[in-house]
Protein backbone atom coordinates (compact mmCIF):
# COMPACT_ATOMS: atom_id res chain seq x y z
CA UNK A 1 0.00 0.00 0.00
CA UNK A 2 1.48 3.33 -1.06
CA UNK A 3 1.23 6.73 0.52
CA UNK A 4 -1.48 7.73 -1.94
CA UNK A 5 -3.66 4.85 -0.78
CA UNK A 6 -3.31 5.97 2.83
CA UNK A 7 -4.44 9.52 2.07
CA UNK A 8 -7.43 8.71 -0.18
CA UNK A 9 -9.67 7.11 2.43
CA UNK A 10 -9.73 9.93 5.02
CA UNK A 11 -10.04 12.48 2.22
CA UNK A 12 -13.08 10.70 0.78
CA UNK A 13 -14.62 10.44 4.25
CA UNK A 14 -13.99 14.14 4.86
CA UNK A 15 -15.66 15.08 1.58
CA UNK A 16 -18.67 12.85 2.38
CA UNK A 17 -19.04 14.25 5.87
CA UNK A 18 -18.74 17.80 4.56
CA UNK A 19 -21.37 17.11 1.88
CA UNK A 20 -23.84 15.64 4.37
CA UNK A 21 -23.22 18.43 6.87
CA UNK A 22 -23.61 21.13 4.22
CA UNK A 23 -26.79 19.53 2.87
CA UNK A 24 -28.33 19.45 6.33
CA UNK A 25 -27.27 23.06 6.99
CA UNK A 26 -28.86 24.12 3.69
CA UNK A 27 -32.11 22.38 4.69
CA UNK A 28 -32.31 24.30 7.95
CA UNK A 29 -31.32 27.57 6.25
CA UNK A 30 -34.08 27.07 3.70
CA UNK A 31 -36.55 26.32 6.49
CA UNK A 32 -35.46 29.50 8.26
CA UNK A 33 -35.85 31.53 5.07
CA UNK A 34 -39.39 30.23 4.74
CA UNK A 35 -40.07 31.12 8.39
CA UNK A 36 -40.48 27.44 9.22
CA UNK A 37 -39.62 25.87 12.54
CA UNK A 38 -38.35 22.29 12.52
CA UNK A 39 -39.57 20.58 15.69
CA UNK A 40 -36.91 18.42 17.37
CA UNK A 41 -37.58 15.06 19.04
CA UNK A 42 -38.98 15.59 22.52
CA UNK A 43 -36.97 13.12 24.60
CA UNK A 44 -39.02 14.04 27.66
CA UNK A 45 -41.82 12.07 26.00
CA UNK A 46 -40.05 9.69 23.62
CA UNK A 47 -37.44 7.02 24.24
CA UNK A 48 -34.24 6.94 22.26
CA UNK A 49 -33.84 3.64 20.41
CA UNK A 50 -31.14 2.49 22.84
CA UNK A 51 -33.17 3.25 25.98
CA UNK A 52 -36.27 1.81 24.31
CA UNK A 53 -34.64 -1.59 23.74
CA UNK A 54 -33.11 -1.55 27.23
CA UNK A 55 -36.55 -0.99 28.75
CA UNK A 56 -38.08 -3.82 26.72
CA UNK A 57 -35.30 -6.19 27.77
CA UNK A 58 -35.82 -5.28 31.42
CA UNK A 59 -39.59 -5.75 31.12
CA UNK A 60 -39.19 -9.21 29.57
CA UNK A 61 -36.71 -10.24 32.28
CA UNK A 62 -39.19 -9.21 34.98
CA UNK A 63 -41.97 -11.29 33.40
CA UNK A 64 -40.27 -14.31 31.91
CA UNK A 65 -43.30 -16.43 32.81
CA UNK A 66 -45.33 -14.74 30.05
CA UNK A 67 -42.88 -12.75 27.90
CA UNK A 68 -39.92 -13.96 25.86
CA UNK A 69 -37.53 -12.05 23.61
CA UNK A 70 -35.54 -12.96 20.53
CA UNK A 71 -33.24 -10.77 18.44
CA UNK A 72 -33.08 -11.99 14.84
CA UNK A 73 -30.23 -10.86 12.59
CA UNK A 74 -29.84 -10.96 8.82
CA UNK A 75 -27.62 -9.37 6.19
CA UNK A 76 -27.41 -8.79 2.46
CA UNK A 77 -24.52 -7.38 0.35
CA UNK A 78 -22.71 -5.80 3.26
CA UNK A 79 -25.79 -4.39 4.95
CA UNK A 80 -26.94 -5.94 8.24
CA UNK A 81 -30.05 -5.52 10.35
CA UNK A 82 -31.58 -6.95 13.49
CA UNK A 83 -35.19 -7.17 14.59
CA UNK A 84 -36.34 -7.68 18.17
CA UNK A 85 -39.41 -9.91 18.63
CA UNK A 86 -41.30 -10.12 21.92
CA UNK A 87 -43.71 -13.04 22.34
CA UNK A 88 -46.56 -13.01 24.85
CA UNK A 89 -48.04 -16.34 25.93
CA UNK A 90 -49.26 -17.47 29.33
CA UNK A 91 -48.16 -21.07 28.61
CA UNK A 92 -45.18 -21.52 26.33
CA UNK A 93 -45.52 -25.17 25.36
CA UNK A 94 -45.67 -25.30 21.58
CA UNK A 95 -48.61 -27.72 21.45
CA UNK A 96 -50.71 -25.25 23.40
CA UNK A 97 -49.46 -22.22 21.49
CA UNK A 98 -50.38 -23.74 18.11
CA UNK A 99 -53.97 -24.23 19.28
CA UNK A 100 -54.30 -20.58 20.36
CA UNK A 101 -55.35 -17.52 18.43
CA UNK A 102 -52.21 -15.93 17.00
CA UNK A 103 -51.60 -12.20 16.48
CA UNK A 104 -48.61 -10.53 14.82
CA UNK A 105 -48.01 -6.80 15.34
CA UNK A 106 -45.31 -4.63 13.74
CA UNK A 107 -44.38 -1.11 14.83
CA UNK A 108 -41.74 1.35 13.69
CA UNK A 109 -41.43 0.16 10.09
CA UNK A 110 -40.75 3.78 9.12
CA UNK A 111 -38.01 5.45 11.15
CA UNK A 112 -39.68 8.85 11.58
CA UNK A 113 -42.87 7.42 13.14
CA UNK A 114 -41.70 7.32 16.76
CA UNK A 115 -45.18 7.32 18.26
CA UNK A 116 -45.85 3.82 16.92
CA UNK A 117 -43.03 2.33 18.97
CA UNK A 118 -44.32 4.08 22.09
CA UNK A 119 -47.70 2.38 21.58
CA UNK A 120 -45.89 -0.96 21.27
CA UNK A 121 -44.19 -0.38 24.61
CA UNK A 122 -47.49 0.55 26.27
CA UNK A 123 -49.09 -2.66 24.95
CA UNK A 124 -46.24 -4.76 26.38
CA UNK A 125 -46.58 -3.05 29.75
CA UNK A 126 -50.31 -3.84 29.80
CA UNK A 127 -49.71 -7.46 28.74
CA UNK A 128 -47.23 -7.86 31.59
CA UNK A 129 -49.72 -6.46 34.10
CA UNK A 130 -47.52 -3.53 35.13
CA UNK A 131 -49.98 -1.07 33.60
CA UNK A 132 -53.74 -1.28 33.13
CA UNK A 133 -56.30 -0.16 30.61
CA UNK A 134 -58.79 2.53 31.55
CA UNK A 135 -62.39 1.32 31.88
CA UNK A 136 -61.61 -2.34 31.21
CA UNK A 137 -62.35 -5.23 33.55
CA UNK A 138 -59.08 -6.98 34.41
CA UNK A 139 -60.70 -10.39 34.93
CA UNK A 140 -62.33 -10.24 31.51
CA UNK A 141 -59.03 -9.13 29.99
CA UNK A 142 -57.17 -12.05 31.57
CA UNK A 143 -59.72 -14.50 30.18
CA UNK A 144 -59.17 -13.08 26.70
CA UNK A 145 -55.37 -13.12 26.96
CA UNK A 146 -55.27 -16.75 28.14
CA UNK A 147 -56.38 -17.80 24.64
CA UNK A 148 -53.84 -15.74 22.69
CA UNK A 149 -50.26 -15.85 21.50
CA UNK A 150 -49.09 -12.35 20.51
CA UNK A 151 -45.82 -11.55 18.76
CA UNK A 152 -44.82 -7.89 18.90
CA UNK A 153 -42.09 -6.31 16.76
CA UNK A 154 -41.71 -3.05 18.69
CA UNK A 155 -39.19 -1.41 16.33
CA UNK A 156 -38.89 -3.08 12.93
CA UNK A 157 -36.59 -0.47 11.37
CA UNK A 158 -33.87 0.10 13.98
CA UNK A 159 -31.28 1.34 11.47
CA UNK A 160 -33.68 3.91 10.02
CA UNK A 161 -34.65 5.03 13.51
CA UNK A 162 -31.01 5.74 14.33
CA UNK A 163 -30.75 7.97 11.25
CA UNK A 164 -33.78 9.93 12.45
CA UNK A 165 -32.26 10.31 15.90
CA UNK A 166 -29.04 11.59 14.27
CA UNK A 167 -31.00 14.54 12.82
CA UNK A 168 -32.69 13.44 9.59
CA UNK A 169 -36.20 13.74 11.01
CA UNK A 170 -37.94 13.02 7.69
CA UNK A 171 -36.27 9.65 7.02
CA UNK A 172 -38.71 6.78 6.65
CA UNK A 173 -36.44 4.26 4.90
CA UNK A 174 -34.01 1.74 6.34
CA UNK A 175 -30.27 2.14 6.78
CA UNK A 176 -29.51 1.94 3.07
CA UNK A 177 -32.37 3.99 1.73
CA UNK A 178 -35.07 1.39 1.01
CA UNK A 179 -38.70 1.78 2.08
CA UNK A 180 -39.44 -1.45 3.94
CA UNK A 181 -43.13 -1.13 3.15
CA UNK A 182 -42.40 -1.28 -0.59
CA UNK A 183 -39.98 -4.25 -0.46
CA UNK A 184 -42.54 -7.09 -0.39
CA UNK A 185 -43.36 -9.23 -3.42
CA UNK A 186 -47.05 -8.48 -4.10
CA UNK A 187 -47.06 -5.99 -7.02
CA UNK A 188 -43.46 -5.05 -6.20
CA UNK A 189 -41.63 -2.33 -8.06
CA UNK A 190 -44.49 -0.59 -9.83
CA UNK A 191 -44.09 3.19 -9.79
CA UNK A 192 -46.94 5.68 -9.94
CA UNK A 193 -46.64 9.02 -11.78
CA UNK A 194 -45.90 10.80 -8.49
CA UNK A 195 -43.26 8.26 -7.44
CA UNK A 196 -40.67 9.75 -5.07
CA UNK A 197 -37.54 7.60 -4.59
CA UNK A 198 -36.80 9.31 -1.29
CA UNK A 199 -40.16 8.20 0.04
CA UNK A 200 -40.84 4.94 -1.77
CA UNK A 201 -37.61 3.30 -2.99
CA UNK A 202 -38.63 -0.41 -3.25
CA UNK A 203 -35.09 -1.81 -3.31
CA UNK A 204 -33.36 -3.83 -6.01
CA UNK A 205 -35.74 -6.81 -5.73
CA UNK A 206 -38.53 -8.13 -3.50
CA UNK A 207 -37.10 -8.93 -0.07
CA UNK A 208 -33.72 -7.43 -0.90
CA UNK A 209 -33.70 -5.95 2.62
CA UNK A 210 -32.77 -8.01 5.69
CA UNK A 211 -35.59 -6.49 7.75
CA UNK A 212 -38.20 -7.65 5.22
CA UNK A 213 -36.57 -11.08 5.00
CA UNK A 214 -36.83 -11.49 8.76
CA UNK A 215 -40.46 -10.40 8.81
CA UNK A 216 -41.38 -12.76 5.96
CA UNK A 217 -39.79 -15.77 7.69
CA UNK A 218 -41.47 -14.87 10.97
CA UNK A 219 -44.92 -14.56 9.40
CA UNK A 220 -44.70 -17.85 7.49
CA UNK A 221 -43.52 -19.79 10.53
CA UNK A 222 -45.98 -18.19 12.99
CA UNK A 223 -49.10 -18.36 10.76
CA UNK A 224 -50.99 -15.50 12.43
CA UNK A 225 -54.75 -15.08 12.34
CA UNK A 226 -54.39 -11.29 12.66
CA UNK A 227 -51.65 -9.04 11.25
CA UNK A 228 -51.48 -5.31 12.02
CA UNK A 229 -48.83 -3.00 10.57
CA UNK A 230 -48.80 0.23 12.58
CA UNK A 231 -47.92 3.63 11.07
CA UNK A 232 -48.56 7.33 11.62
CA UNK A 233 -49.39 10.19 9.28
CA UNK A 234 -53.17 10.20 9.61
CA UNK A 235 -55.92 8.39 11.53
CA UNK A 236 -57.12 5.36 9.61
CA UNK A 237 -58.06 1.69 9.84
CA UNK A 238 -57.08 0.04 6.55
CA UNK A 239 -57.56 -3.45 5.13
CA UNK A 240 -56.32 -4.83 1.77
CA UNK A 241 -55.59 -3.80 -0.85
CA UNK A 242 -52.92 -1.07 -0.96
CA UNK A 243 -51.90 -1.51 -4.60
CA UNK A 244 -55.28 -1.12 -6.29
CA UNK A 245 -58.54 0.74 -5.91
CA UNK A 246 -60.57 -2.32 -5.01
CA UNK A 247 -61.34 -4.23 -1.87
CA UNK A 248 -61.25 -7.99 -1.46
CA UNK A 249 -62.87 -10.29 -3.98
CA UNK A 250 -64.10 -12.70 -1.30
CA UNK A 251 -67.17 -11.24 0.41
CA UNK A 252 -66.75 -13.09 3.72
CA UNK A 253 -63.25 -11.78 4.64
CA UNK A 254 -64.35 -8.33 3.53
CA UNK A 255 -67.38 -8.39 5.81
CA UNK A 256 -65.39 -9.74 8.76
CA UNK A 257 -62.66 -7.15 8.51
CA UNK A 258 -64.93 -4.25 7.71
CA UNK A 259 -67.34 -5.00 10.55
CA UNK A 260 -64.49 -5.24 13.04
CA UNK A 261 -62.96 -1.96 11.91
CA UNK A 262 -66.30 -0.16 11.93
CA UNK A 263 -66.98 -1.35 15.46
CA UNK A 264 -63.54 -0.21 16.64
CA UNK A 265 -64.02 3.15 14.93
CA UNK A 266 -67.34 3.63 16.71
CA UNK A 267 -66.11 2.47 20.12
CA UNK A 268 -62.86 4.40 20.35
CA UNK A 269 -62.76 7.19 17.77
CA UNK A 270 -66.33 8.45 17.27
CA UNK A 271 -66.05 7.50 13.59
CA UNK A 272 -63.24 9.96 12.90
CA UNK A 273 -60.88 7.33 11.41
CA UNK A 274 -60.90 6.55 7.71
CA UNK A 275 -62.05 2.93 7.20
CA UNK A 276 -61.56 0.90 4.03
CA UNK A 277 -58.92 -0.40 1.66
CA UNK A 278 -55.60 1.42 1.64
CA UNK A 279 -55.57 1.92 -2.13
CA UNK A 280 -59.17 3.05 -2.26
CA UNK A 281 -59.09 5.41 0.71
CA UNK A 282 -55.73 7.12 1.06
CA UNK A 283 -55.55 8.80 -2.36
CA UNK A 284 -52.58 6.93 -3.85
CA UNK A 285 -51.56 3.33 -4.54
CA UNK A 286 -48.75 1.64 -2.61
CA UNK A 287 -47.02 -1.33 -4.28
CA UNK A 288 -45.09 -4.06 -2.53
CA UNK A 289 -46.59 -3.54 0.93
CA UNK A 290 -46.42 -5.89 3.89
CA UNK A 291 -50.19 -6.05 4.44
CA UNK A 292 -50.97 -7.06 0.84
CA UNK A 293 -48.35 -9.82 1.11
CA UNK A 294 -49.76 -11.01 4.43
CA UNK A 295 -53.22 -11.33 2.97
CA UNK A 296 -52.41 -12.68 -0.49
CA UNK A 297 -49.43 -14.95 0.23
CA UNK A 298 -49.40 -15.81 3.94
CA UNK A 299 -53.23 -15.96 3.90
CA UNK A 300 -53.71 -14.09 7.16
CA UNK A 301 -57.52 -13.95 7.55
CA UNK A 302 -57.46 -10.46 9.08
CA UNK A 303 -54.72 -8.22 7.66
CA UNK A 304 -54.70 -4.55 8.65
CA UNK A 305 -52.70 -1.33 8.46
CA UNK A 306 -53.41 1.18 11.23
CA UNK A 307 -52.48 4.87 10.98
CA UNK A 308 -52.56 6.17 14.54
CA UNK A 309 -51.72 9.88 14.37
CA UNK A 310 -51.19 12.77 11.98
CA UNK A 311 -50.93 16.54 12.20
CA UNK A 312 -52.31 17.94 8.96
CA UNK A 313 -51.34 21.48 9.94
CA UNK A 314 -47.61 20.73 10.10
CA UNK A 315 -45.27 21.73 7.30
CA UNK A 316 -44.01 18.91 5.10
CA UNK A 317 -40.51 19.79 6.32
CA UNK A 318 -41.51 19.56 9.97
CA UNK A 319 -41.65 15.78 9.99
CA UNK A 320 -41.46 15.11 13.71
CA UNK A 321 -44.54 17.25 14.29
CA UNK A 322 -46.34 15.83 11.26
CA UNK A 323 -46.01 12.20 12.38
CA UNK A 324 -45.80 12.43 16.18
CA UNK A 325 -47.58 14.26 19.01
CA UNK A 326 -45.31 16.95 20.39
CA UNK A 327 -46.92 17.66 23.77
CA UNK A 328 -47.91 15.40 26.63
CA UNK A 329 -51.70 15.69 26.42
CA UNK A 330 -51.94 14.47 22.84
CA UNK A 331 -49.14 11.94 23.42
CA UNK A 332 -51.05 10.37 26.33
CA UNK A 333 -54.32 10.44 24.40
CA UNK A 334 -52.82 8.54 21.47
CA UNK A 335 -51.32 5.90 23.77
CA UNK A 336 -54.56 5.47 25.72
CA UNK A 337 -56.86 5.33 22.68
CA UNK A 338 -54.75 2.99 20.59
CA UNK A 339 -53.64 0.61 23.31
CA UNK A 340 -57.33 0.20 24.20
CA UNK A 341 -58.07 -0.35 20.50
CA UNK A 342 -55.56 -3.17 20.27
CA UNK A 343 -57.02 -4.96 23.26
CA UNK A 344 -60.46 -4.62 21.70
CA UNK A 345 -59.01 -6.34 18.61
CA UNK A 346 -57.58 -9.05 20.85
CA UNK A 347 -61.05 -9.66 22.26
CA UNK A 348 -63.18 -9.34 19.11
CA UNK A 349 -60.80 -10.93 16.58
CA UNK A 350 -61.38 -14.55 17.67
CA UNK A 351 -65.14 -13.94 17.82
CA UNK A 352 -65.21 -12.57 14.27
CA UNK A 353 -63.24 -15.48 12.86
CA UNK A 354 -65.25 -18.12 14.71
CA UNK A 355 -64.28 -21.71 14.02
CA UNK A 356 -61.04 -20.94 12.21
CA UNK A 357 -59.53 -19.34 15.31
CA UNK A 358 -57.54 -22.49 16.13
CA UNK A 359 -56.70 -23.64 12.63
CA UNK A 360 -55.10 -21.12 10.33
CA UNK A 361 -54.51 -22.39 6.79
CA UNK A 362 -51.72 -24.93 6.51
CA UNK A 363 -48.51 -23.76 4.87
CA UNK A 364 -49.05 -26.37 2.19
CA UNK A 365 -52.38 -24.75 1.31
CA UNK A 366 -50.78 -21.38 0.62
CA UNK A 367 -49.28 -20.20 -2.64
CA UNK A 368 -45.80 -19.67 -1.25
CA UNK A 369 -42.55 -20.32 -3.05
CA UNK A 370 -40.15 -23.10 -2.08
CA UNK A 371 -37.75 -20.48 -0.74
CA UNK A 372 -40.44 -18.87 1.41
CA UNK A 373 -41.59 -22.22 2.79
CA UNK A 374 -38.07 -23.31 3.71
CA UNK A 375 -37.30 -19.91 5.22
CA UNK A 376 -40.36 -20.19 7.42
CA UNK A 377 -39.62 -23.80 8.33
CA UNK A 378 -36.08 -23.02 9.49
CA UNK A 379 -37.25 -19.96 11.40
CA UNK A 380 -39.79 -22.12 13.25
CA UNK A 381 -37.15 -24.73 14.13
CA UNK A 382 -34.75 -22.06 15.38
CA UNK A 383 -37.44 -20.39 17.48
CA UNK A 384 -38.26 -23.73 19.07
CA UNK A 385 -34.76 -25.03 19.75
CA UNK A 386 -32.70 -21.86 20.07
CA UNK A 387 -29.16 -21.22 18.94
CA UNK A 388 -28.41 -24.90 18.37
CA UNK A 389 -30.52 -24.74 15.25
CA UNK A 390 -28.83 -21.66 13.76
CA UNK A 391 -26.58 -24.01 11.79
CA UNK A 392 -29.61 -24.77 9.62
CA UNK A 393 -29.49 -21.22 8.30
CA UNK A 394 -25.95 -21.88 7.06
CA UNK A 395 -27.22 -24.81 5.02
CA UNK A 396 -30.16 -22.95 3.50
CA UNK A 397 -28.72 -22.82 -0.01
CA UNK A 398 -27.77 -26.51 0.10
CA UNK A 399 -31.23 -27.52 1.26
CA UNK A 400 -32.86 -25.52 -1.52
CA UNK A 401 -30.47 -27.02 -4.08
CA UNK A 402 -31.13 -30.61 -2.97
CA UNK A 403 -34.87 -30.02 -2.91
CA UNK A 404 -34.84 -28.65 -6.45
CA UNK A 405 -32.66 -31.52 -7.65
CA UNK A 406 -35.12 -33.94 -6.07
CA UNK A 407 -38.03 -32.30 -7.89
CA UNK A 408 -36.10 -32.25 -11.17
CA UNK A 409 -35.08 -35.91 -10.91
CA UNK A 410 -38.67 -36.88 -10.11
CA UNK A 411 -39.91 -35.08 -13.21
CA UNK A 412 -37.21 -36.70 -15.39
CA UNK A 413 -37.99 -40.18 -14.05
CA UNK A 414 -41.67 -39.64 -14.71
CA UNK A 415 -40.88 -38.47 -18.25
CA UNK A 416 -38.68 -41.50 -18.90
CA UNK A 417 -41.33 -43.85 -17.52
CA UNK A 418 -44.04 -42.32 -19.71
CA UNK A 419 -41.74 -42.42 -22.77
CA UNK A 420 -41.02 -46.12 -22.25
CA UNK A 421 -44.71 -46.93 -21.95
CA UNK A 422 -45.41 -44.95 -25.12
CA UNK A 423 -42.60 -46.73 -26.99
CA UNK A 424 -43.81 -50.12 -25.83
CA UNK A 425 -47.27 -49.40 -27.20
CA UNK A 426 -45.77 -48.24 -30.51
CA UNK A 427 -43.64 -51.40 -30.94
CA UNK A 428 -46.44 -53.81 -30.05
CA UNK A 429 -47.09 -56.16 -33.09
CA UNK A 430 -50.25 -55.38 -34.97
CA UNK A 431 -52.51 -58.41 -35.54
CA UNK A 432 -53.09 -59.37 -39.20
CA UNK A 433 -56.28 -58.09 -40.66
CA UNK A 434 -58.55 -60.71 -42.21
CA UNK A 435 -58.85 -60.69 -46.03
| Beta carbons within 8 Å of 181's beta carbon, 6+ residues apart | 109, 110, 229, 231, 286, 288, 289, 290
3-state secondary structure labels for all residues of the chain: CCHHHHHHHHHHHHHHHHHHHHHHHHHHHHHHHCCCCCCCCCCCCCCCHHHHHHHHHHHHHHCCCCEEEEEEEEEECCEEEEEEEEEECCCCCHHHHHCCEEEEEECCCCCCCHHHHHHHHHHHHHHHCCCCCCCCCHHHHHHHHCCEEEEEECCCCHHHHHHHHCCCCCCCCCCCCCCHHHCCCCCCCCCCCCCCHHHHCCCCCCCCCHHHHHHHHHHHHHCCCEEEEEECCEEEEEECCCCCCCCCCCHHHHHHHHHHHHHHHHHHHCCCCEEEEHHHHCCCCCCCCHHHHHHHCCCCCEEEEEEEECCCCCCCCCHHHHHCCCCHHHHHHHHHHHHHHHHHHHHHHHHHHHHHHHCCCCHHHCCCCHHHHHHHHHHHHHHHHHHHHCHHHHCHHHHHHHHHHHHHHHHHHHHHHHHHHHHHHHHCCCCCCCC
Cis bond upstream, residue 196 (ω within 30)? no
Residue of 211, 307, 372, 380 with catalytic role = 307
Active site residue 372: no
Torsion of CA 234, 235, 237, 243, to 10 degrees: -10
Catalytic positions = 307
Amino acid sequence: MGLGDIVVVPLALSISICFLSCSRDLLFVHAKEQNLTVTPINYDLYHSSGKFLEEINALVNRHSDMLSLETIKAGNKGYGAEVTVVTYSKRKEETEERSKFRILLSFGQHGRELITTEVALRILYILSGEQSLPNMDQASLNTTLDKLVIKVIPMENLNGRKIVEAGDLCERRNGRGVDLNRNWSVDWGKKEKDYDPYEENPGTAPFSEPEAQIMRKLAISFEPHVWINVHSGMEALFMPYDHKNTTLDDALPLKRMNSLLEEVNNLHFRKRCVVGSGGGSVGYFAHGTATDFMYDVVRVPMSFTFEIYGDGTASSRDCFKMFNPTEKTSYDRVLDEWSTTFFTIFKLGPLRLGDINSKAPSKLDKFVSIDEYLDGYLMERRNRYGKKMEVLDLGMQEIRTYFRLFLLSSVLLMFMFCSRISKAKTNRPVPAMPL
